[in-house]
Chains A and B, each alone.
Chain A
Amino acid sequence: MSLEAIRKDIDLVDSKILKLLNHRMELVLMANKFKVQIEDKEREKQLLERIKKTLADLIKPEFTERIYSEIIKESKKLQEKDYKLMAFQGEHGAFGEVASREWDSDLVTVPCTQFAEVFEGVKSGLYDYGIVPVENTLGGAVAEVNHLLINTELKVVGAVGLPIHLCLLAVPGTDHREIRRVYSHPQALSQSRNFLSRNRLDPVHYYDTAGAASMLAEERPKGAAAIANKLCAKLYHLEIVKENIEDLDKNMTRFFVLSKEGNKNEGDKTSIIFSTAHKAGTLFRVLEVFAKQDINLTRIESIPSDPGDYAFFLDFIGSDKDEKVQKVLVQAQEIAANFKVLGSYKERIVE
């Protein structure tokens, strides 16, 4: 092993340490939601005791204690700041995280494995907000998220329209001629099918775009690359082999920002969900109310709820604080069943 190779490994270990440290801080902020006061002497004592007992040849107890008293100090400092947490599905660098930053860059983004975890976490108060993809230009409605929306008590307090641009990422120093396999989420792979076939690259399914980037950085498989966004290149120290490899450049994903409390700020768009009785013309009569008041509908989607039953998702221009909208909502509610206002909010379309 050469000095250069050893140093490369050291760099790799360092980025793992920092990644884990960041994850620890995320947990610290989550723990804070359960604590009455920040300082907990008993827990600190237990923690230091436990760590001192963990055997590692080169790490002496005094050294661990020194490191950990610094970490605890920093953790408490972070807890004092009372950061607001935003949960997203996927690993760091996922499009949900990008959308979150576009909505409010001051929020601390916390990754979740499942969409249901995002919903539950926001409901339980673990996270202040959650961000979930509702629909995509190429892929249509995100079924799982829409189902969760039907049954949730959470409110929609914001929306983000995020253009989806994909990059081919590789470990720095990779010879582009040796790339054979490309890892990514099936959706991203299918959105760059032409690019892959032009360059004779084999698509390999992975559960998440950012996850594929993270795997690439850690495992460094030979002759491999990943498809993910630009942020992932930065987060995982990967090189962008080619930007904008998507076959269709007008691809957008729309995200909802969820919160336990409704939106207190101004909104210009409103989302509702309802179902209708199985009687001729009921859906038409609901829509008629909006047409008569000259309200522009921006999304209408039906999602199967029970066999034979559908939940209708309706987005329209206007706020539930407007008199005209309030009147329409009352009228529509009388005709529809299971009527629910998800919320009025501002939608940010990212260029």
Chain B
Amino acid sequence: MNSLKLTSINGEKNKRTVITVDNVKVGKDFVVIGGPCSVESEEQTLETARKVKEAGGDMLRGGAFKPRTSPYDFQGLGLQGLKILERAKKETGLPVVTEVTDPRDVSWVCEYADVLQIGTRNMQNYSLLKEVGKVNRPVLLKRGMYSTLKEWLNCAEYILAEGNPNVILCERGIRTHETYTRNTLDLSIVPSVKEVSHLPVIVDPSHGTGRLSLIESMSLASLAAGADGIMVEVHYRPEEALCDKDQAMPPEMFARLVKKLRILQSSMIGMNEQ
């Protein structure tokens, strides 16, 4: 991995990047990000944000610009969605993670959001990577659905090379022959990342499995595997969700999940010193 001048660990085994977003320290704390797949309305986003906050979530996710498989699917509210996310942050205090899909939107998304997300389909969109490399907001870089670890880290390298050192990697499942799950959640990538890079890595079990019933166990497994956090799709009324409704978690289930994660987290204290 010679090309990874900035993302690789370069022999310093204990080198870890910690990214501060308001009061949250990604790479140090176990960070729980929850929120709707997309911002559909002010009520839906604000209500979901309140539930995420109540459950003990650390950050709010929500898409304003949605890259969808079909051009006829809901494309997101755009700038209007960003304004709603800003209001949700104002009310709950949760920092906001939102996806950016167009280089022309990067500076505008920075005006409203705390963390810029690059989606799986845009992992190798180099002009977009260069653009987010120029801003002073952390970037959450999702793994491409067909990408190797090396390809993924090279994309992070693009961002770091432009001058933005704050990249959070996010495993979201890869394409395999398996059809029962939407994707195959590759948890082995978490300790793999830790072996070669100092960047924090989190897991998105919602897209990773596409099945509500599997999200909890995969979240706990992510924590056990050494991930720095998880990102889960939560919707205040999953049956009404405009996208990814099969994997949207109802707030009560999310609250239970956060509780279990915190129990596991406390029982893991001191484990790494063994």
Contact = CB atoms under 8 A, between A and B. Distances in A.
A241 interface: yes
Interface in A31-46: none
A241 B108 CA distance: 10
Contact of A198 (B105, B110, B112): B110
B107 to A, nearest CB: 5
Interface of B: 79, 102, 104-105, 107-108, 110-112
Contacts of B104: 177
A200 B106 CA distance: 11
Nearest to A245: B111
8 contacts: A176-B79, A176-B108, A177-B102, A177-B104, A177-B105, A195-B111, A199-B107, A200-B107
B79 A198 contact: no
A242 interface: yes
A50 B34 CA distance: 69
Contacts of B107: 198-200
A200 B103 CA distance: 13
Contacts of A199: 107-108, 111
Contacts of B108: 176-177, 199
Interface size class of A (residues with CB under 8 A): under 10
B112 to A, nearest CB: 8
Nearest to A240: B83
A-B pairs, top 3 by smallest CB distance, nearest first, are A177-B104, A199-B107, A176-B79
A242 B102 CA distance: 19
A40 to B, nearest CB: 51
Interface of A: 176-177, 195, 198-200, 241-242
A21 to B, nearest CB: 32
A195 B107 CA distance: 10
A242 B105 contact: no
B6 to A, nearest CB: 24
Contacts of A176: 79, 105, 108
A242 B111 CA distance: 8
Nearest to A198: B107
Contacts of A242: 111-112
A301 to B, nearest CB: 36
Contacts of B79: 176, 241
Contacts of A200: 107
A241 B111 CA distance: 11
Contacts of B111: 195, 198-199, 242
Nearest to B103: A177
Contacts of A195: 111
B81 to A, nearest CB: 12
A193 to B, nearest CB: 15
A199 B104 CA distance: 9
Nearest to B78: A176
A178 to B, nearest CB: 9
* Best-surrounded residue of A177, A195, A200 (most CB of chain B within 10 A): A177
Nearest to B136: A198
Nearest to B105: A177
Nearest to A177: B104
Given A195-B111, A200-B107, 8 more contacts: A176-B105, A177-B104, A177-B105, A198-B110, A199-B107, A199-B108, A241-B79, A242-B111
B201 to A, nearest CB: 29
A296 B110 CA distance: 45
